[in-house]
Amino acid sequence: MLEVAEDTCTTCGSPQEVTDRKPKNYKYGIAVFSAGMIGIGLILEILSVDLMWIYAAFLASMLSAGQFVIPKGLRGLARLKLDQHFLMTSASFGAMIIGAPAEGAAVMFLFYISILLEEKAEDKVRDEIQALVELEPPSVTIKVDGTEFCTTPEDVKIGDILIVRPGGQIGLDGIIKTGATSVNQSSITGESLPIPKSVGDHVYAGTINQEGYIEVEVTEKSNESVLSKIINLVDASRKNRAPTEKAISRFSVIYTPIVVLLALLVAIISFVQGLSITDSTYRGLTLLVISCPCAFAVSIPVSMVSAIAGSARNGILVKGGIFIEQMSKTGVVAFDKTGTLTEGVLSVKDVCMHNNYSRDQVLSAAASLETMSEHPIGRALIEATIRENVEKVQASEFRSIPGRGVIGNLGETEYFVGNRRLLLDNQVPLDSVEAHDCGAGTMVYVANGSEHLGTIVLSDTLRPGTKRTVKKLKEMGIHTVMLTGDSENVAREIAEEIGIDDYRAELLPDQKVSAIEELKRNGIVLMVGDGINDTPALASADVGVALGAAASDAALEVADVALMEQDLTKIPELIQNSKKTMRVVRQNVATSLTVKAVTGILASIGILTLWMAIGVGDMGLTFLVIANALRLAGKW
């Protein structure tokens, strides 16, 4: 049962709360004041009070809301860089001049509300990042010469011992030196279930110790922890804009001057057609307000940043909108084999018996000798005997032959366990390779002094979810390829087992890069690897995805996307969510353009008022695209 630690550090204090909310409260207060003055102005109009007081009320509303708009509009005019602030400043003052003070005040007030909506959206994204920052506790308990005391994470040195009790937060990256527990590390890897941890296992800053008392040796400074790197990468990713986002920004630069000229043209045409100068100016101002590019300009950045922040919460680091856009167009997914499609851990696949020996005899002899070896093959053989309940015997006169295998005595008989060359070197009679079909894999030959007992076939263990991932990608119409340095036989067998479309075997790192370049001719290539040996290939692909990046600094650095846990099933999910993000972007852009076009036409022929223009064509539309974009924060 989870117990919350009662001996929480008190000498270090808790994080200081931000009590100064004046800037944000001030802005909300201005909105209330501006709305109130519009209300007063309308009441004065109904009561037919002197026009001077009516103008005073509406002017007070316009200037109060406009304090964040008018100066920017005037600075833009001075630099001949016209933007939405200039459009709204012109429309508001123009309405005042032509005798429509209520609408002039409403234009500025509603535009100010749209600014607050944009800030609110940005605040939500900042809150996502701040939530990551707050995962690191303000204080930690360290053990020095048997004494416990509190300090800040910044003051802890590599090699110090952290004490973490049940329910406590792990303050820094490190390795467990004492104790065993389960750790909720969803904040780092996105894994929903607690992970068992014991002596020798890595733990990460910001994760929760759920059950047992542990002591952790610190391996990274606070500013170099996996959590710190995640925060920095998420923050930096906001500056790495997608091509579509850059195109919209470039379009906005030339859009506003065109709109100003178009509004002047509408006013002139209306006047020529017989409208009064006041009505003609009103139509031009209405078009000016409708054409404000707020919703258009904010639609893509908010969508991208929402998606990036949402993905980080689920253990997926995307280093910028450019990679979301690239992933949405993925045509080929290339996988490294060892450590990606497979776990990189050997296991016994089959045992080929010879000379009438049994499976148990072959496994027992091999594991008995390998008990004294530290080789990964030895560990696989021992695990097989444990799993199959095969007894081992004590070996003597053990010798390891580098590049060949091991030799030792079981009782009075000498045994050999190793590759084919070891048996041939010791004149053990062997059948031809073709005589026994033991399948593909790593072959371990077992013999005594005169007879070949059998051949054990070892293979890499498929990672859970590998087959499901490949199947899902193929259902999505994506071509799948495996790139490996393994032999042709091993590669072919793995490819057939998991159902992958194509494979390239016996590749050196530079040949993997060449393979990626070749695949890129057929479309956008997403490469999945462990981020260490696959660095060149990850860098060469259109999008490099590192698997299990929480354990690898190299992965966090080189990959465009980093999956913090080793879960291949997130690859199809990643591509699907990227497609979903781009659908939202297209929806927002299309909606913005359509609404602007329709309301612009209605304004040009005098159907829309300034009130309706700002309420529907600007503030309402801005609210709509922001709400649509913020859905993405919860979809990743």
Residue 531 has pLDDT above 70, yes or no: no
pLDDT 10s digits, 270-319:
888 888 888 888 888 777 777 666 666 666 777 777 787 777 777 788 88
Amino acid at 533: N
Half-sphere exposure of 321 (CA within 13 A, CB side): 22
Check if the beta carbon of residue 629 is closer than 8 Å to that of residue 302. Answer: yes
Amino acid at 476: M
Residue 218 has pLDDT above 70, yes or no: yes
Token pair of 574 as six digits: 């990643």
Query: Residue ranges per domain, the chain?
Result: 21-133+229-329+523-636, 140-224, 343-461
Token pair of 370 as six digits: 């390998």
pLDDT 10s digits, 15-34:
333 333 446 678 888 989 99
Superfamily of domain 343-461: Calcium-transporting ATPase, cytoplasmic domain N (3.40.1110.10)
Q: 321 vs 317, 355, 624, CA distance in Å?
A: 11, 63, 21
**Alpha carbon 355 to its chain's center:** 56
pLDDT 10s digits, 359-400:
999 999 999 988 877 677 788 888 888 889 888 888 888 888
Report the mean per-residue pLDDT for the chain. Answer: 80
Residue 1 has pLDDT above 50, yes or no: no
**Of residues 93 and 122, which shows the higher confidence score?**
93
413: β partners: 410
Q: Is the pTM of this model over 0.85?
A: no
Closest Cα to residue 164, out of 152, 188, 148? Answer: 148
Closest Cα to residue 218, out of 238, 208, 232, 203? Answer: 203
Among the ranges given (339-348, 350-359, 538-547), the one the predictor scored with the smallest mean pLDDT: 339-348
Check if the beta carbon of residue 294 is closer than 8 Å to that of residue 118. Answer: yes
Confidence band of 3 (pLDDT split at 50, 70, 90): very low
What is the DSSP code (8-state) at residue 632?
A: G
pLDDT 10s digits, 478-504:
999 999 877 787 788 889 989 999 999
Residue 449 neighbours by CB under 8 Å, 6+ apart? 413, 414, 415, 428
Q: Among residues 83, 173, 201, 336, which one is catalytic?
A: 336
pLDDT 10s digits, 418-464:
888 888 888 888 866 555 566 667 788 999 878 899 899 887 788 88
pLDDT of residue 217: 93
Q: Between vectors from CA 139 to CA 135 and to CA 140, what angle results, nearest 5°? A: 95
**Alpha carbon 420 to its chain's center:** 47
Token pair of 23 as six digits: 């800037």
Tell me yes or no: is domain 140-224 CATH 2.70.150.10. yes
Q: Between vectors from CA 614 to CA 611 and to CA 617, what angle results, nearest 5°? A: 125
DSSP 392-438: ---EEEEEEETTTEEEEEETTEEEEEE-HHHHHHTT-----GGGS--
Helix (H, G, I), strand (E, B) or coil at 261: helix
Cα–Cα distance measured from residue 114 to residue 344, given in angstroms and rounded to the nearest whole number: 54
Cα–Cα distance measured from residue 617 to residue 292, given in angstroms and rounded to the nearest whole number: 8
Torsion of CA 466, 467, 469, 471, to 10 degrees: 160
Domains 140-224 and 343-461 share a fold: no
Could you confirm whether 336 is annotated as catalytic? yes
**Alpha carbon 422 to its chain's center:** 49
pLDDT of residue 207: 85
Residue 619 has pLDDT above 80, yes or no: no
Check if the beta carbon of residue 174 is closer than 8 Å to that of residue 164. Answer: no
Residue 566 has pLDDT above 70, yes or no: yes
Span 566-594, mean pLDDT? 88
Kindly give the interhelix angle for 570-604 and 243-272, rounded to the nearest 10 degrees: 10
Q: Residue with structure tokens 């014991």?
A: 198
Amino acid at 176: I
Half-sphere exposure of 489 (CA within 13 A, CB side): 9
Helix (H, G, I), strand (E, B) or coil at 99: coil
